[in-house]
Amino acid sequence: MTTLARRKAGPRALTAVTWVVAILFVFPLLWLILTAFKQEADAYTDPPKLFFSPTFDQIANVLKGGFLPYLSNSAFVTVLSTVLVLVLGIPAAYALSLAPVKKTSNALGFFLSTKMLPIVAAIIPLYIISQNTELLDTVWALVILYTSMNLPLAIWMMRSFFLEVPHEMIEAGRIDGANLPTLLRKIIMPVVAPGIAATALICVIFSWTEFFYAVNLTAARAGTVPVFLVGFITSEGLYWAQLSAAALLASLPVMIVGWIAQNHLVRGLSMGAVK
Amino acid sequence: MSTLSVDTPQSQTRAKVVEKKGLSTAAKRRLPLLPALVFVIAVTQLPFLLTVFYSFQSWNLVRPGSRHFVGLDNYIDVFSDTTFLVALLNTVLLTVVCVFVALLLGLGLAILLDRKFFGRGVVRTLLITPFLILPAAGALLWKTTMFDPTYGLLHFVFGTDVDWLSEFPLASVMAQIVWQWTPFMMLLILAGLQSQAKDVLEAANVDGAGRWRTFVSITLPHLSRFLQLATLLGAIYIVNSFDAIFLMTQGGPGTASTNLPYYIYQRAFEGFDVGQSSAMGVIVVILTMIVATFALRLMFRTFSVNGGIK
């Protein structure tokens, strides 16, 4: 073996190891995708079937089985709560980073500490309040709760992006008499836009996948996609193929968004950590 | 302000204007913070105050008129409730084990990904995906196609008829949670690895430091704040784990995989016992606050929030 060949063999082996590990790790998910295209009979076999004639029956069954209202509830709650997080969070992140006042770190600490409160501790009052205000089983209860759930993390992440804005640029703008909205729009936004996109993405993922509030505060009218999946454990026995199809459809929107924006995700998380 | 320009009268007035504006706008500067602050206080703190209020009452929703003030009775009941203690222990165990294992796996995967190789983008995309699928979907997937004693893949691979969910309920739930959270840890650690200064690594190489030595002496210290952040965020979410337990084991068999979120849910929504479940909620918050105080202090030191404000 020449030196060159030997030098290449090490990395190649490592690449092979990486691929094997990755595929093993994701195998349950690949299996889920396969199962989603099986007939029920092909889903329960011993040994498991790797080859079968694929079918779209299960996907069609899920779509016919009342999945779409849940999907639209999820979309509505996710989009609206993420917009609210940005509307409330961007000014707050600005105040905590570029125009800090006394007690700033207290406010930041407070926001972070709300993430430490276990959500179960508030579920009973939340249930009773939403019952009394007739928000129970409406999308509005979830919009409000998801906004408050994501806001602290979002403020904290966006603050770190705002700190990236050169201080001189803002001072110059201020001296020229720009007010806050103008400063935000003309100077700060162009710099922090990618960070805000990453933050919004995290909010979308957490809102779309949230389970606890959704299960306890919604039912048939305002249920989101995770609530739809619960139907599969309460029904007689489990329909694996149909369940897999439902799980796949329920996850697909977030999967696609996440795949497309994964560079943002890595950068967003890293910046949040460094600052 | 540079010292040079102070001499010119024009810049002096300008400086004064800025100063004056700065003082008069102190309140204005606080304004952008207020909507978010008020919103978060209203939605997170008020319900919790109500929880405290309810915790001093005997109140069962299925018995109308049962509501009355009982003082500390609920708390005494909770502490003599063995299920509560089991759930507390399970919660601690589940959180510590899952965070630790996911962190280690995440570190390993991040190191494997932190090189240029064929198909790196595809591998990263694959590895991120368990974090992107619904936890509810992940839990049902593991319950059925992985853990089923007759048709599950684990049965096929190991050739045993073990009923994982009833024989090792807590470990099974942990496996699913670790699978779900490893990608998140990996992403954070990968970001840390990629933010390393390459020249330092090269210098270490030139100085003859081996890979292991470089990793321990340079990479790990650099990663520490990323690892701490991953631990903190992971712990916050994993301590609240509900989906996996609700969908995979329903806390069973018996109470073997009941954690605090699931137990409080049971008392509240199956037992309709507002008073008791509220008392449990308060205790959980106090315990979390004790742990979180240490965690926050640690984090504030690491990320030096005060120093961060320029």
Label each residue of chain A as H, E or C. Answer: CCHHHHHHHHHHHHHHHHHHHHHHHHHHHHHHHHHHCCCHHHHCCCCCCCCCCCCCHHHHHHHHHHHHHHHHHHHHHHHHHHHHHHHHHHHHHHHHHCCCCCCHHHHHHHHHHHHHCCHHHHHHHHHHHHHHCCCCCCHHHHHHHHHHHHHHHHHHHHHHHHCCCCHHHHHHHHHCCCCHHHHHHHHHHHHHHHHHHHHHHHHHHHHHHCCHHHHHHCCCCCCCHHHHHHHHHHCCCCCHHHHHHHHHHHHHHHHHHHHHCHHHHHHHHHHHHHC
Q: How confident is the model at residue A7 (pLDDT cuts 50, 70, 90)?
A: low
Percent of chain A with pLDDT over 90: 36
**Separation in Å, CA of B31 to nearest CA in chain A:** 8
State the pLDDT at residue B169: 92
User: What number is the average pLDDT over the span B119-145?
Assistant: 90
State the pLDDT at residue B223: 87
Count A/B contacts: CB-CB distance under 8 Å. 306
Nearest to B123 among A19, A47, A115 (CB): A19
- Among the residue ranges A133-142, B80-89, B207-216, B262-271, the one predicted with the least confidence is B207-216
**Separation in Å, CA of A270 to nearest CA in chain B:** 5
DSSP string, B229-246: HHHHHHHHHHHT--HHHH
From B21, B298, B186, B47, select the one nearest A135 (Cα to Cα). B47
**In the predicted structure, residue A236 carries a pLDDT above the cut 60:** no
**In the predicted structure, residue B303 carries a pLDDT above the cut 90:** no
Q: How confident is the model at residue A215 (pLDDT cuts 50, 70, 90)?
A: very high
- Compute how many other C-beta atoms are within 10 angstroms of the C-beta atom of residue B295: 17
Residue with the larger pLDDT of the pair A63 and B159: A63
Chain B residue nearest residue A171, CA to CA: B18
Nearest to A22 among B44, B123, B247 (CB): B123
Residue with the larger pLDDT of the pair B253 and B307: B253
State the pLDDT at residue B278: 92
Q: How confident is the model at residue A190 (pLDDT cuts 50, 70, 90)?
A: confident
- Which residues, at least 6 apart from B103, have a Cβ–Cβ distance to it below 8 Å? B185, B227, B230, B231, B234
| Biggest CA-to-CA distance, chain B | 88
State the pLDDT at residue B39: 93
Crossing angle for the helix pair A123-132 and A139-162, to the nearest 10 degrees: 130
Residues in chain B, total? 310
Which of A124, A165, A256 should we substitute to test contact with B (largest number of B Cβ atoms within 10 Å)?
Answer: A124
State the pLDDT at residue B69: 84
B14 contacts on A by Cβ (under 8 Å): 175
From B245, B276, B273, select the one nearest B261 (Cα to Cα). B245
CB contact under 8 A, A269 and B30: no
| Biggest CA-to-CA distance, chain A | 79
CB contact under 8 A, B308 and A174: no
B294 contacts on A by Cβ (under 8 Å): none
Q: Which amino acid is at B222?
A: H
Nearest to B33 among A43, A95, A226 (CB): A95
User: What number is the average pLDDT over the span A46-51?
Assistant: 77
pLDDT digits (tens, 9 = 90+) for B48-95: 999 999 999 888 877 777 777 887 888 988 888 899 999 999 999 999
CB contact under 8 A, B117 and A11: yes
Distance CA A77, CA B195 (A): 35
Chain B residue nearest residue A141, CA to CA: B43
CB contact under 8 A, B36 and A151: yes
Q: Which helix (H) or strand (E) holds B57?
A: strand B57-58
- Compute how many other C-beta atoms are within 10 angstroms of the C-beta atom of residue B178: 22
For the four alpha carbons of A47, A53, A59 and A64, in that order, the dihedral sign comes to negative
Nearest to B192 among A25, A216, A273 (CB): A273
Q: Are A200 and A79 a contacting pair, CB within 8 Å?
A: no
Q: Does B151 touch chain A if contact means CB atoms closer than 8 Å?
A: yes
**Burial of A169 by CB count in 10 Å (0-12 exposed, 13-18 middle, 19+ buried)?**
middle
Q: Does B162 touch chain A if contact means CB atoms closer than 8 Å?
A: no
Chain A residue nearest residue B250, CA to CA: A233
Residue with the larger pLDDT of the pair A213 and A65: A213
State the pLDDT at residue A214: 94
State the pLDDT at residue B2: 34
State the pLDDT at residue B10: 42
**In the predicted structure, residue A180 carries a pLDDT above the cut 80:** no
- Among the residue ranges A4-8, A141-145, B301-305, the one predicted with the least confidence is B301-305
**In the predicted structure, residue B12 carries a pLDDT above the cut 60:** no
Percent of chain A with pLDDT over 70: 90
Residue B287 main-chain phi, psi, to 5 deg: -60, -45
Distances from the Cα of B159 to the Cα of A25, B153, B222, angstroms: 20, 9, 44
Chain A residue nearest residue B134, CA to CA: A209
Please, what's the b/e burial string for B213-230 (b: 16 or more CB within 10 A of its CB; e: otherwise)?
Answer: ebeeebbeeebeebbbbb
Q: How confident is the model at residue A271 (pLDDT cuts 50, 70, 90)?
A: low
Side-chain half-sphere exposure of A252, counting CA atoms within 13 A: 12
Q: Are A4 and B113 a contacting pair, CB within 8 Å?
A: no
B289 contacts on A by Cβ (under 8 Å): 116
CB contact under 8 A, A109 and B305: yes
**In the predicted structure, residue B250 carries a pLDDT above the cut 80:** yes
Nearest to A88 among B39, B127, B308 (CB): B39
Question: 65-104 in A: which are within 8 Å (CB) of B?
Answer: 88-89, 91-92, 94-97, 99-101, 104
Q: How confident is the model at residue A8 (pLDDT cuts 50, 70, 90)?
A: low
User: What number is the average pLDDT over the span B198-216?
Assistant: 84
Q: Does A269 touch chain B if contact means CB atoms closer than 8 Å?
A: yes
B226 contacts on A by Cβ (under 8 Å): 270, 273
**In the predicted structure, residue A9 carries a pLDDT above the cut 80:** no
User: What number is the average pLDDT over the span B27-49?
Assistant: 87
Q: How confident is the model at residue A53 (pLDDT cuts 50, 70, 90)?
A: confident
**In the predicted structure, residue B306 carries a pLDDT above the cut 60:** no
pLDDT digits (tens, 9 = 90+) for A83-117: 999 999 998 988 888 776 666 777 887 887 788 78
State the pLDDT at residue B19: 46
Q: How confident is the model at residue A3 (pLDDT cuts 50, 70, 90)?
A: low
- Among the residue ranges A133-142, A183-192, B16-25, B35-44, the one predicted with the least confidence is B16-25
- Among the residue ranges A28-37, A115-124, B47-56, the one predicted with the least confidence is A115-124
Q: Does A109 touch chain B if contact means CB atoms closer than 8 Å?
A: yes
**Separation in Å, CA of A120 to nearest CA in chain B:** 6
pLDDT digits (tens, 9 = 90+) for A197-211: 888 988 999 999 999
User: What number is the average pLDDT over the span B298-308?
Assistant: 52
**In the predicted structure, residue B309 carries a pLDDT above the cut 60:** no
Crossing angle for the helix pair B274-303 and A104-116, to the nearest 10 degrees: 130
Distance CA B131, CA B184 (A): 6
CB contact under 8 A, A254 and B133: yes
Q: Are B54 and B275 a contacting pair, CB within 8 Å?
A: yes
**In the predicted structure, residue B291 carries a pLDDT above the cut 90:** no
User: What number is the average pLDDT over the span B24-30?
Assistant: 66
Question: 267-286 in B: which are within 8 Å (CB) of A?
Answer: 268-269, 274, 277-278, 281-282, 284-285
- Compute how many other C-beta atoms are within 10 angstroms of the C-beta atom of residue B296: 17
From A167, A168, A149, A155, select the one nearest A195 (Cα to Cα). A155
Q: Does B44 touch chain A if contact means CB atoms closer than 8 Å?
A: yes
Q: Are B171 and B276 a contacting pair, CB within 8 Å?
A: no
Kindly provide the ipTM of the predicted complex, given to two decimals. 0.86
Q: Does A156 touch chain B if contact means CB atoms closer than 8 Å?
A: no
Residues in chain A, total? 275
Q: Does A46 touch chain B if contact means CB atoms closer than 8 Å?
A: yes
Q: Are B164 and B149 a contacting pair, CB within 8 Å?
A: yes
For the four alpha carbons of B280, B285, B287 and B288, in that order, the dihedral sign comes to positive
Q: Are B182 and A26 a contacting pair, CB within 8 Å?
A: no
**In the predicted structure, residue B5 carries a pLDDT above the cut 50:** no
Q: Are B281 and A118 a contacting pair, CB within 8 Å?
A: yes
State the pLDDT at residue B61: 77
- Average pLDDT over chain A reads 85
Distance CA A228, CA A243 (A): 10
Which tokens belong to B280?
């449990």
- Which residues, at least 6 apart from A54, have a Cβ–Cβ distance to it below 8 Å? A37, A38
From B23, B226, B211, B6, select the one nearest B106 (Cα to Cα). B226
Nearest to A29 among B21, B129, B136 (CB): B129
Q: How confident is the model at residue B296 (pLDDT cuts 50, 70, 90)?
A: low
Side-chain half-sphere exposure of B221, counting CA atoms within 13 A: 8
**In the predicted structure, residue B6 carries a pLDDT above the cut 50:** no
Q: Return the residue matching tokens 């965020």.
A: B233
Q: Are B180 and B130 a contacting pair, CB within 8 Å?
A: yes
- Which residues, at least 6 apart from B179, have a Cβ–Cβ distance to it below 8 Å? A25, A28, B130, B138, B142
B308 contacts on A by Cβ (under 8 Å): 163, 275
**Max avg pLDDT among A173-187, B6-20, B73-87, B286-300:** B73-87
Question: 7-26 in B: which are within 8 Å (CB) of A?
Answer: 14, 18, 21, 26
